[in-house]
């Protein structure tokens, strides 16, 4: 049940993002929006790299399986 709700929420979120980007392109200057998207994508990639490196440096301690 939760996987279905999570999937539906992601679909709704994706639709919102696409619609919002279309609205921004119609309302404002497209060059400014593209620069903002490039900066956001760069920041997202940088954050993903930092999280990846931190997860490798500090691996999660898993409990041994109970028998």
pLDDT of residue 49: 92
pLDDT at 67 over 70: no
Predicted structure pTM score: 0.59
pLDDT, one tens digit per residue, over 4-55 is 888 999 999 999 999 998 898 888 888 988 898 899 899 989 999 999 999 8
Are 25 and 33 a contacting pair, CB within 8 Å? yes
Distance in angstroms (rounded) separating the CA atoms of residues 47 and 34: 20
| Residue spans of alpha helices (H) in 1-67 | 2-27, 30-57
Q: Nearest CA to 3 among 11, 60, 17?
A: 11
All structural domains of the chain with their residue ranges:
30-58
pLDDT value of residue 64: 67
The whole-number pLDDT of residue 2 equals: 82
């Amino acid at each position: 049940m939760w996987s279905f709700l999570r999937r539906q929420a992601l679909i709704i979120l994706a639709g919102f993002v696409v619609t919002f980007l279309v609205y921004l392109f119609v309302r404002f200057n497209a060059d400014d929006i593209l620069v903002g998207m490039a900066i956001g994508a760069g920041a997202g990639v940088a954050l993903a790299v930092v999280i990846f490196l931190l997860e490798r440096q500090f691996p999660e301690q898993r409990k041994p399986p109970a028998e």
